[in-house]
Structures are given as structure tokens and as C-alpha cells.
Structure 1
Amino acid sequence: MRTDIHNWQPITVSEACAIFSAVPVQWCMAGGWALDLHMGKQSRPHDDIDILIRRDEQLTAYDHLSKEWTLYKAENGKLDRWEKGEFLITTDDIWVSKDDHSPWAYQIMLADTDHESWIYKRERSIRRDWEDVISHTQEGIPYLKPEIQLLYKGGSSAIREKDQKDFLQLLPLLHPQSREWLRTALKKQFPIGHLWVEQIKKMEV
């Protein structure tokens, strides 16, 4: 088990693309970088870098990545080695470094799916065609669509300051249909109310 959770030296987006273009899984950039790729510029410093893959393709990813990287499963506040052949059912995050002593280089997020549908784990009735959760930059870099990335941010147990800033920065740039999808999804997860739902409603006035 490792405890050095702040020991990050993240790879670049270009390096992530080079790594995952050689892995035969469906993937896309996620987290803050996904939002920046949508905007076409880096809006703030990023302490880490996230790549999203389908949960059902995790073992393929492991077999390819473990040749050069050491992979840890992050769950319940612990970071334990991910062993060969171990299918992760409840773990959502994988932290990756060159070896047991190197800084963390990137994080893999495991997305639940049902056939060709992406499933939002915090409210499993929220689903979307897998092909409709990913967009691409002009250079062909795949990234998680902003309304879905914002749902991950807004749907967490606590909205961090950087998440709020990301939301306010992206909100005016979202297509009206994307804003409505985000508003509807947040209302479904938080039927008693959510700050972002009210802020989205103001945009529609």
C-alpha cells in the first residue's frame, strides 16, 4: 500500500495520447483537462491527469499498461497494488506510476457501461449512448463531453472550489441542449435541489 497521495508528476496530454493510442480500448481524456480540451486552452494548473476507460475493458488495459507501469487501485482511502487478472467491480480509480517509488503519472477512471450505454454510477438511471459521451478536438484527441464531466464534478459529495470555478467558466460555453441535459441529470440525482440547477436556470432566462 502507498500513502504518498500528493506525490504527483503528471504526464502531459500528448504523452497520455501516445500511451493510450497503443492500448486497444475505448478511452478519452477526463477531469479538468477534458474541460480545457473543449475550450481549446488551458484554463488553470492541473495537479493530475485523468483518462476514462470502460470498466469492461479494464483487463485489456491492464495487460498492456502493466508492461511499463505499476498500477494501484484506489478505494476506501487506500492505494493497493492492482494484481494481474483481478477484475475490479467496485473500484473506480486506478493510480499509475513507473514503479513503487516513482511519482504518480496519471489516473485511470473506470466507467460503468451496459452494452453500448454509459452509466452514471451515482444515479444509475442516468445513461447515455457511449458514442455520445465522447467528443474530439480538431487534432483528434478524445475527451469526455463537458456536461458529463461537470456532472461528475457537481454530483460529488462536496463541490470543491476548482469545480465551482470550472462550472462557472464552462456554463456560458455549453450548447443549450447540453445545459439542459446537465440540469435534468442533477435534478434526478438531487431531487431536493442543487445550486447548479438554479444557476443553469438563470442562463435560460
Structure 2
Amino acid sequence: MINTNATVLARGPWAPLSPQEAAELLAGADFPWWIAGGYAIELAVGETYREHSDLDVLVLRRDQARIRRHFDRWDLFLADPPGAGTLRAWPEGEDLPGQVHDVWCCRAPDEPWSVQLMLDEADTDEWVSRRDARVRRRLAQLGRVTSTGIPYLSPEVQLFYKAENVRAKDEIDFERVVPLLDVGQRAWLASALGLVLPGHAWLDRLKA
């Protein structure tokens, strides 16, 4: 069981679940969730085209009590404070501080990290970006579902998150998925980037 006083280094061995394994883990969850990160882009594209060092799952902060119960047999650690390079244990019953957005999950203390939960905000039926509350999306439009039933974050929303600090793998994801975005998805992403990151290099490429 988790040591509630434990502090660990954020860096450590990862053996990420696959999206299918994550879907099996979250089967029956009483809260919405979506595969996020690079895996979400691959699910939108419909094929695997690069390696992944971790697995991100987006959840809503307002569901944190349900999330903690669902993972009651797991060891969960919080990036608190964010960016410090260490993680502290998340004991059952603790309400997460507002600055905590990432929860690292492993099955037991001697097991590698398997899942990273990313907590986002919501206002009734709208998702609200934790980076800028002006950027919103109806929860009904936030994700999609694969033919095998795996929920994943809509690619335009995932690209919005990737745009803040573009790495080589983010450029690959952008190039692979942008041709598949419809007019509405492109318009939403362009609007969000124009609001938060005006002048971003992706804006002109979204018009192509």
C-alpha cells in the first residue's frame, strides 16, 4: 500500500499501458476519461507511427474523488509543487490543491509508472483549459471514440496543448493529423491558438 509520507523523484522507469490496456483498466469507471498525448493523435490517425515514453489520460478535476476510488489499489503520486522534479503521495480522502494537474500512477511501490492522469477543469457541460479559461469546448465535443470503444481526446484539443512547447514529436503529430481535421476542428484550433499564442507557426499551416 502507498506510504502517505513518501516523496519520490518524478523521473523513473516507465512501462506505459497501451491505450487498450488503459481502456480495460478504466472499464466501468463512473467518470469520463480520454486517452491523451501522442497516443490520442495516433488513435485519430488510425495507426501507430512512433514510440511513446508514457501514457496520458485526461480526466476532470471535479471527478477526483471517483478517480481516487477507482485507483484504490494503486500507488498514486502528485506533481506538487509542479515542476519541482519530485512527487508526493496522494492519500485517500485528500482534495487536490488547485495547482496540481498531474498524477503519476503505478500498481505497487516496486512497479514502474504505468499511467499519468492529467486533471483539467470543467464548468457544467464545458471543458475549460487550465492554461487559459477563455479556451473552452463542450464536453460532448471534447473527445471521440475508436471503433473498438476507446475514448480519446479530439486532435484539435490535443494539438492546442502541444502548441505551447513544440518538440520534434509534436511536429510529427501535427503533420500526421492536420490533414484529417475538418473545417470546424481547424477553426477551433486556429481560434484557440490566436487567442493564447498569437503568431504561432501553426496558424498559417492550418490555413493550407
TM range (shorter): over 0.9
Cα offset for 1:21? 1.2
1:9 aligns to 2:18 (yes or no): no
**Distance of 2:131 and 2:10 partners within structure 1:** 27
1:199 corresponds to which residue?
A: 205
- Aligned pairs for 1:121-140 within 5 A: 121-140=130-149
Which residue identity is paired with 1:33? Y
Which residue identity is paired with 1:82? W
1:73 corresponds to which residue?
A: 78
Which residue identity is paired with 2:155? P
**Distance of 2:12 and 2:124 partners within structure 1:** 36
1:153 aligns to 2:162 (yes or no): yes
1:62 corresponds to which residue?
A: 68
Q: TM-score, normalised by structure 2?
A: 0.91
Tell me how large the CA RMSD over aligned residues is: 1.2
Cα offset for 1:102? 1.6
Cα offset for 1:3? 1.2
- Aligned pairs for 1:31-110 within 5 A: 31-67=37-73, 69-74=74-79, 75-77=82-84, 78-88=86-96, 89-110=98-119
1:174 to 167, 173, 181: 181
Cα offset for 1:13? 1.4
SS of corresponding position for 2:22: helix
**Distance of 1:174 and 1:153 partners within structure 2:** 16
Cα offset for 1:6? 3.7
Structure 2: state its 5+ residue gaps. Answer: 1-6
Percent of residue pairs identical: 35
Which residue identity is paired with 2:48? Q
Which residue identity is paired with 1:139? T
Q: What does the per-residue CA deviation read over 1:101-155, in whole Å, with 9 as the maximum and x for residues that have no partner?
A: 321011111110011100011111111111110111111211100000000100x
2:193 corresponds to which residue?
A: 186
2:129 corresponds to which residue?
A: 120
**Distance of 1:190 and 1:13 partners within structure 2:** 30
Structure 1: state its 5+ residue gaps. Answer: none
Cα offset for 1:100? 2.2
Q: Could you list the structure 1 runs, at least 4 aligned residues long, displaced by more than 4 angstroms after superposition.
A: none
Q: TM-score, normalised by structure 1?
A: 0.92
1:26 to 27, 32, 41: 32
Equivalences, count? 198
Which residue identity is paired with 2:67? A
